[in-house]
Amino acid sequence: MAKKLNIKDKYRLLTRDLDWEFSYQDRSKAFPYEAFEGIKITDWSKWEDPFRLTMDAYWKYQAEKEKKLYAIFDAFQQNNGHLNVSDPRYVNALKLFLTGVSPLEYQAYQGFAHVGRQFGGVGARVACQMQSLDELRHVQTQIHAISHYNKYFDGLQEYSHMHDRVWYLSVPKSFFNDARAAGPFEYMIAIGFSFEYVLTNLLFVPFMSGAAHNGDMATVTFGFSAQSDEARHMTLGLEVIKFLLEQHEDNVPIVQKWIDKWFWRGTRLLTIVAMMMDYMLPNKVMSWQEAWEVYFEEAGGALFKDLARYGITMPKYADIIEKEKEHISHQAWWTFYTHGHAAGFHTWIPTDEELDWLSEKYPNTFDKYYRPRWELAKKLEAKGERFYTSGLPMLCQTCQIPMLFTEMDNPGEISYRDHVHDGERYHFCSDGCHDIFVDEPEKYVQSWLPVHQIFQGNCGGPDVENILSDYYRMNLGADNLDMKGSPDEKRWKQWKGVA
Amino acid sequence: MSIEIKTATLEPVRNTFAHIERRFGDKPATRYQEATYDVASATNFHYRPLWQPDKLLQDASRTQLVMADWYAFRDPRQFYYGTYVQARAKMQEVAESNYAFFEKRNLARLLSDEQNAALIRFLVPLRHVEHTANLNNMYGTGLGMGTALTQAMLYDGMDRLGIAQYLSRIGLILDGNSGEALAQAKQHWMDDAVWQGMRALCEELMVTEDWFELLLAQDIVVDTLVYELVYKQWDAQLADNGAQDVAMLTEFMQDWWKDNQRWGDSVLKTAAAESADNTALMEQWISNWRGKAAEALAPLASEMLGEQALESAMAVLDKRLNKAGLFK
């Protein structure tokens, strides 16, 4: 009788021994990128497989999930599911998602394929390959979930073209380009650990919860379907960091530096989520500050306590980040509101109920610093003078966000840092972004900064309007400007039979 | 008689995404189209990779092959993630029931000692070849151009991991889950003279830099020869000698190969039809790898099957290449 194998042994026998010691070629030529980052791997065989899923089981489970998911998509389309969303303003969160986030899933597909080829250990490679396949799933199912909205709402139709060009979309794009341009180990700390393990609850979950709270059956069903994939990705992220820290003590300071960098990069990127949660969701899930406290301060705090035994400390700038949670969503939405003519989605003044909600959720900051701006905006709008700024914003050389953040101890003053490198002066939104640049200036001088590119004449022109319509391919008057009076709003009223 | 449920129809503003409309016209698109075309970033990359500073993150110059549009490589199977996993789930369901039947009836006991040893010597070591194919396809997935082609390479790569795992399971069936057959098979792979050419070839493939050259070398040249020799010729020989039950364990590989050839043929045709330069380049690459693969496989083929085997496998490869418009 054949003996019974437990899952761990079976997986090891099926997968882990596929590799071999080379005799005919220099093995380091087959895996050439493992050494240059300074990470020391003494023994790949110590890698603990974070999930032991063989391909046959993967195909089976994932096919079941796809069958159910696409049945919902079909029903959603057949029954005009878009009519069930809470408010047409909600769809603008989807526009931000499809133009800003789905292309990151695509980059994750490419990034994990790359490291899934390059790591010298077969266990790590296979786990990354599976994540690559999952990430392809996510971008494709997101496109299919949102495809129906594209047929009835503006601003989604050029998501791919816009992702490569539009000013604010260079923020998420450059974030992921940065990780992919790094070596394979930094990529895993950036994406596998910092992003997937710690920050995913602040990106993926808010969008999907927003869909749930706002009647978006297609997107929330995708969210539920992707949950078990995400759980796998999180275990991979945690295994990566433990593995690197246990392999060699010299890895600890390198990993710490990457953690510091990628938490800062990550929190900057999450500014768009903060704004989405506080301003773009007609039915709120929770405030950004609440989400930050639950998912970062509590969950992340516990994690870093756990990692302390390896000598890892809380990410640098955690003290600044703690203060920012009460400010950034307001600063960001105000910036989009005032640049609403150049955005690929609609902006608006929060309703009075929403302003009251913000006052309640942000007792220390909203009434003091931000509510007065909206009261002013309301007055101007009532007079028929909806405000749009005419200038182009200066961008941070590192995170590429316009200089919209203030000093946290003085919210009336814009935070502004600079640094001279090779005779050129570079500008930053924060100490975090400044320090990241100074550590790797050769990388960040390459940033494709949309505003610089416009001024250099690389985006067409001569007017902003030409750039928006020709280079960005925005459908002016439909994709941009205020929600009020937009074709989206007019159609919605028609469908709903209201004047 | 048919019945018709009345639904509210709302006139859509547009039929599909703008980039799909530019390619295929203003009409509803298929899910394959929306999941595939122009999804990848194409311009304005921010930083050059630290691991390859002479290239952009996405860079057409990582292969010498030149295409005006990398999305010309339409997959005839129209696989996007959803259709891919569903197609493979069906195949694995059949495989699962085959493996269960084989094990339940203990069909391994019908194999002679000699046949058992031959499976460990010739079939199980192929899991290392499949592993190589996995890596080579992942290489193209990470560095290649255009989702139409890169996603198909990812599916191929993951299929090969699956096949490596099936081959490993065959080893475990033969050794009663002790892992001994896998260890023996690895020993053959490492030391047995019949495998050394093949192992050297696999190692050489893994240090090959041009991803499209690698696609041709692995997915067309090596795979055609290996699948023809092992899953066709050797399969027939096993059946003729009373070991036909083994085919239950390799049916997945045979079905997979049928499916994969449709894609491989279309890749060959599309790339060759693009330009005379491409055709010449592909012929040069293929000739080189065809010679190396023949040399690597010769001892294995003659030991497994006899002297004529390799020649007839080469004829199958040549016919395939010819049909795709190469070496005319």
Nearest residue, CB atoms, B138 vs list A106, A116, A165? A116
Domains and CATH numbers, chain A: 29-348+387-496 (1.10.620.20)
Q: Which of residues 115-174 of B touch A (CB under 8 A)?
A: 127-128, 130-131, 134-135, 138-139, 141-143, 147, 150-151, 154, 157-159, 161-162, 164-166, 168-169, 172-173
Q: A325 near A288, Cβ under 8 Å?
A: yes
Q: How far apart are CA A89 and CA A91, in angstroms?
A: 5
CB atoms closer than 10 angstroms to residue A176: 26
Q: How far is CA A104 from CA A107, A203, A265, B96, B152, in A?
A: 5, 12, 14, 36, 20
**What is the per-residue pLDDT for A1?**
57
User: Of A45, A56, A372, whose CA–CA distance to B252 is shortest?
Assistant: A56
What tokens does B86 get? 């569903």
Q: How far apart are CA A479 and CA A340, in angstroms?
A: 10
Q: Is B43 on the interface with A (CB under 8 A)?
A: yes
Q: Is B3 on the interface with A (CB under 8 A)?
A: no
pLDDT per position as a tens digit, B55-90: 999 999 999 999 999 999 999 999 999 999 999 999
Q: A254 near A327, Cβ under 8 Å?
A: no
CB atoms closer than 10 angstroms to residue B84: 27
Mean pLDDT, residues A472-484 taken together: 97
Residue A109 pLDDT exceeds 70: yes
Q: B274 near B89, Cβ under 8 Å?
A: no
Q: A358 near A370, Cβ under 8 Å?
A: yes
In A80-216, which ranges are continuous DSSP H helix?
91-100, 102-118, 122-152, 159-163, 170-181, 184-187, 204-213
pLDDT per position as a tens digit, B102-147: 999 999 999 999 999 999 999 999 999 999 999 999 999 999 999 9
Q: How far apart are CA A386 and CA A400, in angstroms?
A: 27
Q: B114 near B249, Cβ under 8 Å?
A: no
Mean pLDDT, residues B19-32 taken together: 98
Domain residue ranges in chain B: 77-323
Confidence grade of residue B5 (pLDDT, cut at 50, 70, 90): confident
pLDDT per position as a tens digit, B273-305: 999 999 999 999 999 999 999 999 999 999 999
Mean pLDDT, residues A477-491 taken together: 97
Q: How far apart are CA A184 and CA A34, in angstroms?
A: 7
User: Of B197, B209, B68, B235, whose CA–CA distance to B145 is shortest?
Assistant: B68
Q: Do A36 and B165 touch (CB under 8 A)?
A: no
Q: How far apart are CA B142 and CA B151, in angstroms?
A: 10
The DSSP-derived string for B37-48 is TT-S--S---S-
pLDDT per position as a tens digit, A427-451: 999 999 999 999 999 999 999 999 9
**What is the per-residue pLDDT for A390?**
86
Q: How far apart are CA A152 and CA A304, in angstroms?
A: 45
Residue B9 pLDDT exceeds 90: no
**What is the per-residue pLDDT for B119?**
98
Closest chain A C-alpha to B169 CA, distance in angstroms: 7
Nearest residue, CB atoms, A5 vs list B86, B138, B177? B177
Q: How far apart are CA A121 and CA A46, in angstroms?
A: 9
CB atoms closer than 10 angstroms to residue B60: 14
Q: How far apart are CA B11 and CA B15, in angstroms?
A: 10
Q: Do A156 and B17 touch (CB under 8 A)?
A: yes
Q: Do B41 and A164 touch (CB under 8 A)?
A: yes
Cα nearest neighbour of A182 on chain B = B50
Mean pLDDT, residues A174-191 taken together: 98
Which residues in chain B are closer than 8 Å to A449, comparing Cβ atoms?
none
Which residues in chain B are closer than 8 Å to A19, comparing Cβ atoms?
131
User: Of A219, A242, A383, A230, whose CA–CA distance to A310 is shortest?
Assistant: A242
CB atoms closer than 10 angstroms to residue B91: 18
Half-sphere exposure of B296 (CA within 13 A, CB side): 25
Q: Does domain B77-323 have CATH number 1.10.760.10?
A: no
**What is the per-residue pLDDT for A474?**
97
Q: How far apart are CA A133 and CA A131, in angstroms?
A: 5
Q: Do A151 and B12 touch (CB under 8 A)?
A: yes
Q: What sign does the dihedral A491-A493-A495-A498 (CA atoms) show?
A: negative
User: Of A145, A143, A123, whose CA–CA distance to A43 is shortest?
Assistant: A123
Q: How far apart are CA A48 and CA A54, in angstroms?
A: 15
Q: How far apart are CA A110 and CA A124, in angstroms?
A: 16
Q: What are phi and psi of B180, to 5 degrees?
A: -65, -40
Cα nearest neighbour of A176 on chain B = B46
Mean pLDDT, residues B172-182 taken together: 95
Residue A204 pLDDT exceeds 90: no
pLDDT per position as a tens digit, A33-48: 999 999 999 999 999 9
**What is the per-residue pLDDT for A203?**
87
pLDDT per position as a tens digit, B217-245: 999 999 999 999 999 999 999 999 999 99
* Mean pLDDT of the residues in chain B: 97
Residue A88 per-residue DSSP state: G
